[in-house]
Amino acid sequence: MSTKAERTTAYIIETVAPIFNRKGYVGTSMSDLTEATGLTKGALYGNFENKDALALSAFEYNCNKLLRALDEVLEQPGTALDKLFRLTDFYRHYDSFTRDMGGCPILNVGVDAQFNHRILAAAARETARTVEGKIALVLEQGVNKGELKLPVTPLQFAKQLFTMIMGAVTMATVMADRKYLHNTIAYLEVLIRKEIKS
């Protein structure tokens, strides 16, 4: 059973995570955080050393939610192709999945923190690498079982696939038009069927 302090910390992170994700580190003020949580600045800093620690915890919270969802998609039984198509289907609805989070944490924090928060920028890069690694593992298993034929190494292909997905997420976000995401995912599914199916 969690203590009151642990519950308060969890409440703070869960409440402020979408705010940091939407507004960015610099754009999020302490008044945004106190207003959202209903807690004083002193109460927030009683649970977190400073704004940096809170922002990093908020980012990790959102990314853990994303990584758990990807694990659920990729760890279900089936062939590598089954898993890849579950992955593309997940990203087809990614805007809905990330709505309550304030958008894609990798994209939002990765871009926002690039020039103003070295630790958050590094955390976003590490999360992107983790996702690439999860996709690469599926591809490698597919190659080893003779289910897939790749023109490059599994990691290279995973990076390219994830780059195309994130490009679509970026354009759908910037243009406020989910067709960018849907059309790219449809194209990727054709590519997977044509290019790498064994």
Closest by Cα among 91, 66, 87 to 78: 87
Do 17 and 62 form a contact (C-beta atoms < 8 A)?
Answer: yes
Decide if 109 contacts 59 (C-beta within 8 A): yes
With CA atoms as reference, report the closest residue to 97 among 131, 67, 74, 120: 67
Which CATH number fits the domain that encloses residue 156? 1.10.357.10
| Enclosing domain of residue 178 | 4-196
Q: What is the pLDDT along the chain (198 residues), one digit of tens a residue?
A: 578 878 889 999 999 999 999 999 999 999 999 999 999 988 888 888 899 999 999 999 999 999 999 999 999 999 999 999 999 999 999 999 999 999 999 999 999 999 999 999 999 999 999 999 999 999 999 999 999 999 999 999 999 999 999 999 999 999 999 999 999 999 999 999 988 876
State the total domains in the chain. 1
Structure pTM? Answer: 0.93
